């Protein structure tokens, strides 16, 4: 597990540094895409065939666990920050956030309905 935690921490920190540097380069005094950079670094590092230490069994198991945990944990952290920003941003931010959530729910509804119809059509063909 130590390999996975160390890799996760290193990728996250390097991603935050890259995101902050990108923010400074664009004139925004904030982190731009640090989490995304961290995820990309984690994927690139763990899928590299040239690095010998990434091919060891213990490393693979440990990193695979943390790689699957990285996205949900970081997205949850970022979402909580977005909620705090939204609440201080005023009515427009609240309306935009609410509209985005309902739009996502509507898309899930449409996709599940489409999949149900598709499965029903396949069943009819089989019968």
Q: For residue 98, with 0-12 CB atoms within 10 Å meaning exposed, 13-18 middle and 19 or more buried, which class applies?
A: exposed
The structure's pTM equals 0.51
pLDDT at residue 106 tops 90: yes
Whole-number average pLDDT of the chain: 77
- Residue-wise pLDDT for 64-87, tens only, equals 777 677 667 766 766 666 566 656
* Cα Rg of the chain (Å, integer): 21
């Amino acid at each position: 597990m130590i390999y996975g935690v160390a890799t996760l921490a290193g990728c996250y920190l390097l991603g935050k540094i890259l995101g902050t540097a990108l923010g400074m380069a664009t004139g925004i005094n904030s982190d731009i895409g640090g989490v995304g950079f961290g995820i990309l670094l984690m994927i690139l590092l763990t899928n590299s065939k040239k690095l010998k230490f990434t091919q060891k069994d213990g490393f693979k198991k440990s990193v695979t666990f943390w790689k699957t945990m990285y996205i949900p944990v970081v997205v949850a952290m970022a979402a909580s920050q977005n909620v705090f920003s939204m609440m201080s941003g005023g009515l427009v931010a609240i309306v935009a956030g609410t509209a985005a959530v309902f739009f996502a729910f509507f898309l899930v509804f449409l996709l599940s309905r489409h999949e149900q119809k598709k499965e029903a059509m396949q069943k009819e063909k089989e019968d």
